[in-house]
């Protein structure tokens, strides 16, 4: 029962100091086919997430966009993740966010890892969110966010009303472009902030931070030219969801905690900043699944190797600016550009 990794919060290669993300261990797939091992059924699956985690956040957004709230219930863990990994909130804890509760399926479980060991007593991987659990078979379907995103996007369509069935996050005419964007967005931005933040040598840090900001520049250039108002035009796609969950955390956490401080979003990337605020303020699936207290406290109080004193910075204030407000420096730059 204790064959867990040496340290839940130690991800850097000891020799190079570079961050290495381990691959997800559970890669099964829910299917609309009736004879599937994991068929698309109401109330059969339970989604475990953290509001702090950008990978889990993706699945919550898609769950709302696709109208799966009454089909797939979920539980969020507490924001604290220490040596035993993600823990569930205790009954007497008052933590912001919907469904931040003890595990409703396994009443005696205190940590997400307990589910992993129930499924496989010899499990030796990491205990990650999102975790999609099959209640009927008592199996973990998947802990790979990109594949859960795809399952939620299509495989439940036969039991959804047309309003949600017609939400197409991966349209055929854009699939090649979306896959191309997903590739560098994942490697350089989504994972790039972690490669920067968890680097244990100056060389590893600088090797990660420059591709990160080059790719932010690339996203900025695309949105400057094409956003109308989403990444690929008038409809939300996977590209918006995958990028949003990193960019919404960038100024509140990654700038200071992960030393991603060449520029921030609100003063250095006007097109990204506009796109981000539109998603947050105007699309409920994004705003209602974004809980800044979880985001800020998780990173700053769980990563003891980065922040031993667990001090959470107060700023930036506010966590996200309104649609019609800019920081003074950015406002001056925008006025100058428009003149």
Buried b / exposed e over 142-159, threshold 16 CB at 10 Å, is bbbbbbbbbbbbbbbbee
Q: Strands (DSSP E) along 83-210, which ranges?
A: 85-86, 131-134, 139-142
Asked if residue 131 lies in contact with residue 76, where contact means CB atoms within 8 angstroms, the answer is: no
Residue labelled with tokens 């105007």:
282
Neighbour count for residue 60 (Cβ, 10 Å): 27
| Residue 22 burial (CB count, 10 A) | 10
> Strand 139-142's sheet: what is its strand order?
74-76, 45-49, 131-134, 139-142
* Catalytic site includes residue 53: yes
Contacts of 297 (CB under 8 A, 6+ apart): 52, 79, 80, 312
What CA–CA distances, in Å, run from 50 to 5, 22, 298?
20, 18, 9
- What does the angle CA 11 – CA 139 – CA 115 come to, to the nearest 5 degrees? 50
Distance CA 242, CA 182 (A): 7
Taking the C-alpha atoms of residue 5 and residue 295, their distance in angstroms, rounded to an integer, is: 24
Q: Which DSSP state fits 132?
A: E
Exactly one of 18, 30, 53, 112 is catalytic; which is it?
53
Rg of the chain on CA atoms, in Å = 20
b/e for 103-122, b at 16 or more Cβ within 10 A? beeeeebebbbbbbbbbeee
Active site residues: 53
């Amino acid at each position: 029962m204790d064959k867990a990794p040496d340290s839940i919060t130690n991800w850097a290669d000891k020799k190079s100091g570079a961050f290495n993300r381990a691959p997800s261990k559970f890669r099964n797939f829910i299917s609309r086919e009736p004879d599937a091992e994991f068929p698309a059924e109401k109330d059969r699956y339970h989604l475990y997430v953290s509001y702090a985690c950008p990978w889990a956040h993706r699945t919550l957004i898609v769950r709302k966009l696709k109208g799966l709230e009454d089909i797939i219930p979920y539980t969020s863990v507490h924001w604290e993740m220490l040596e035993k990994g993600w823990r569930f909130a205790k009954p007497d804890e008052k933590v912001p966010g919907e469904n931040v509760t003890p595990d409703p399926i396994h009443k005696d479980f205190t940590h997400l890892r307990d589910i992993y060991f129930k499924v496989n007593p010899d499990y030796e991987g990491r205990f990650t969110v999102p975790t999609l659990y099959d209640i009927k078979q008592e199996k973990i379907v998947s802990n790979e966010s990109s594949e859960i995103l795809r399952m939620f996007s299509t495989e439940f369509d036969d039991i959804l009303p047309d309003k949600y069935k017609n939400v197409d996050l991966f349209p055929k005419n854009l699939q090649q472009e979306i896959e191309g964007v997903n590739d560098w967005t994942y490697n350089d931005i989504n994972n790039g902030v972690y490669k920067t933040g968890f680097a244990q040598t100056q060389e590893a840090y600088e090797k990660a931070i420059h591709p990160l900001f080059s790719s932010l520049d690339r996203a900025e250039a695309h949105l400057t030219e094409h956003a109308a108002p989403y990444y690929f035009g008038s409809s939300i796609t996977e590209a918006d969801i995958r990028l949003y969950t990193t960019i919404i955390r960038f100024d509140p956490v990654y700038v200071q905690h992960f030393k991603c401080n060449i520029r921030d979003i609100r003063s250095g990337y006007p097109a990204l900043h506009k796109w981000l605020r539109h998603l947050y303020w105007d699309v409920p699936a994004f705003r209602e699944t974004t809980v800044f207290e979880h985001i800020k406290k998780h990173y700053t109080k769980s990563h003891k190797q980065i922040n031993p004193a667990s001090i959470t910075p107060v700023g930036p204030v506010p966590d996200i600016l309104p649609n019609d407000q800019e920081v003074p420096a950015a406002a001056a730059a925008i006025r100058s550009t428009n003149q």
